[in-house]
Structure 1
Amino acid sequence: MAGLMKARYVAVVARTQNEIIAAQRLRHLAFKGCDGLDADGFDDLCTHILVKDRKTDQLVCCFRFLPLNSGSDIAKSYSAQYYELSALQDFEGTMVEMGRFCIHPDVQDPDILRVAWAAMTAYVDDNNVELLFGCSSFKGTDAKEYFDAFAMLRDRHIAPKRWLPRVKAPNVFRFASRLRRKPDLKQAQLRMPPLLRTYLMMGGWVSDHAVVDEHMNTLHVFTGLEIKAIPPARKRLLRAMSA
C-alpha cells in the first residue's frame, strides 16, 4: 500500500523498528492512558499501518494486519486466544486480522477514521482479501454501560451460524442468551465503538458473547466482515476514498 493521503492525514506502512515502537507507544497511551509500550509477539508477524498528521507529522492512529491464507490458519490469529474459531476453519478465501486499532485520545477528527478505512480498503483490494476480522473493543469491563449496544448486536448483528465463534475465554458476557431488554437504538449507537459501528454499517457481524479482558481493560466481541457482503454503494465509496 502506497502512502494514502486524504485532506490533513496520510496513511503509510511502518518501515522501520522506530515506527513500530511509535505505534506501540500510541497503543499504550490509548489503551492504558499513560506512557509505555504495548507490545506482543504478534507485532513481528504483522504489517503496521500508521496514520499521521501531514502538518505536524504526529502519529494520530495505528493498527496492524495479520494475513492468513485461509481459515485453516485461523488458530494462528490473535483472536484465537479468546474465541473458539473452529467454524471458520472451513473458510476457503484469504483472510486478514485487523488488530490493535487506536486513535490518539487527544485528537478528535472523523477524518482519521475515514483515512484508516481507506487504508484498510486498499490493503484488502491489493491482497485479494475475502474476510476481514478482529476483536472490537468497548472501553472498560462493566457490561452494564453497554446494555443497549449489546442488545442491538443481539437483535441485528450476530454471526451466521456457519461461522459463529464459540466461547473459549474464562470470563465472558453472554449477551445474546442472557440479556433481556429491548435496545434504545439511540443509546446503542452512542455507546457503540466507532470502529465497530463502521464494521456493522458494511454488513459485519459479531460473536454472541463479549470477552472480559482485564489486562486490556476492555470488553471485546469477535467481529467479521465478508468482503463480498459489503453493499455495492459502500464498496464504491470506500474505493473512492482509497484511490
Structure 2
Amino acid sequence: MRAFRAGRYEARLAETEDDIRRAQGLRWRAFRAARGRGKVVATDADSFDAICRHVLVEDRWSGAPVAAFRLLDLRNGAEAGRSYSAQFYDLSALAAYPGRMVEMGRFCLDPEWHDPDILRVAWGAMARHVDEERVEMLFGCSSFQGTDVEAHLDAFALLCARHLGPERWLPKEKAPDLFRFAARLRGRVPDRRRAMQGLPPLLRSYVAMGGWVSDHAVVDPDLGTIHVFTALEVNRIPAARARTLRGVAESCL
C-alpha cells in the first residue's frame, strides 16, 4: 500500500519497529487504558503483530498517530485458520472460499480524536490495499465496549434482522463465552436510531457497504469487549459506495 495524504492526515504502512510500537501504544490507549485495563504496560501487543502489516494514520500537523490497524493477507479461505479471528470462531466454512482475503485487525481510533475524516482516510487506505492486492473478502472482529450484552440489545437485534451472513460462510461456535444473539433476538424489532448509534464505527462502516456478521458474538474478558465476526465481500459493495472509496484513495497524494 502506497502512503497517501488527505487533508491534515496521512495513512502509511509502518516501516520501522518504532512505527509498530507507536501503533501498539495507540491500541493500548484505545483498548486498555480507556477501559481501565493494562495500567502497567503501555502497549497492546500479541504474536500476530509479527506476521501482519501495520497501517498508521497520522496527524500531519503534530505527527500524532490517530488511527491504526493491521492487515493479514491470505491467499484464500483455506488459510483463514491462521487468523486472529480463528482463535474465537470456527472458520472451517470459509475454507472453500476461493478468492484472496485480508483480515483487518486491531482497528482503533484515538479516543481523544473525533474527526470523521480519520475514519474516511483509514477506509481510503484499506480501499487502496484491496485494489492493489486484488482482495475479494475483508474480515475481522468488530468490538462493542464492555461485556454487558444487555447494553447492546438494539444493535444486536438490528444485526440479526438485516446483516446476518450467508449460511454457507457463517462461522461456527468455538469460544467458551458466547452471546447467541440471532437465536435470542430473532423477531425483535430494534430501535433503529439507538441501534445505529450503538454500532462501533468500524462495524457501522462494514454494514453500510453490505458487510455481514456471524450469528453469535464472543465475550472477550481480556479486552473487556464483546466482538462479532464481520466480513465484507468486495464484489457486493454497492457501486456508488465503491466509487466513493476509490475516489478517496485515488484523490490522495
| TM-score range normalised by the length of the shorter chain | over 0.9
Structure 1 moving runs of 4+ over 4 Å: none
Q: Tell me the equivalent position of 2:142.
A: 136
Structure 1 position 233, deviation (Å): 0.7
Structure 1 position 174, deviation (Å): 0.3
After TM superposition, the structure 1 = structure 2 runs for residues 83-232 of structure 1, keeping only pairs within 5 Å, are 83-179=89-185, 181-232=188-239
Correspondence 1:6 to 2:6: yes
Q: Tell me the equivalent position of 1:70.
A: 76
Residue 42 of structure 1: SS of its match in structure 2? helix
Distance 1:70 1:242 in 2: 25
Which of 180-189 and 229-238 deviates more? 180-189
Q: Which amino acid aligns with 1:62?
A: A
Distance 2:180 2:46 in 1: 28
Q: Which amino acid aligns with 1:209?
A: H
Could you tell me which runs of 5 or more consecutive residues in structure 1 were left unpaired when the two chains were aligned.
none
Q: Which amino acid aligns with 2:241?
A: R
Distance 1:165 1:88 in 2: 8
Distance 2:17 2:131 in 1: 26
Identical amino acids, percent of aligned pairs: 55
Could you tell me which runs of 5 or more consecutive residues in structure 2 were left unpaired when the two chains were aligned.
34-38
Structure 1 position 53, deviation (Å): 0.2
Distance 2:109 2:215 in 1: 26
Distance 1:175 1:111 in 2: 32
Residue 92 of structure 1: SS of its match in structure 2? coil
Structure 1 position 179, deviation (Å): 2.3
Residue 240 of structure 1: SS of its match in structure 2? helix
Instruction: Report Cα offsets for 1:5-60 as digits up to 9, x if no partner.
Output: 11110001000001001111110111011561110111010000000001111111
Distance 2:63 2:153 in 1: 39
Distance 1:4 1:211 in 2: 35
- Give aligned pairs, total: 243
Distance 2:5 2:143 in 1: 27
Residue 63 of structure 1: SS of its match in structure 2? strand
Residue 47 of structure 2: SS of its match in structure 1? coil
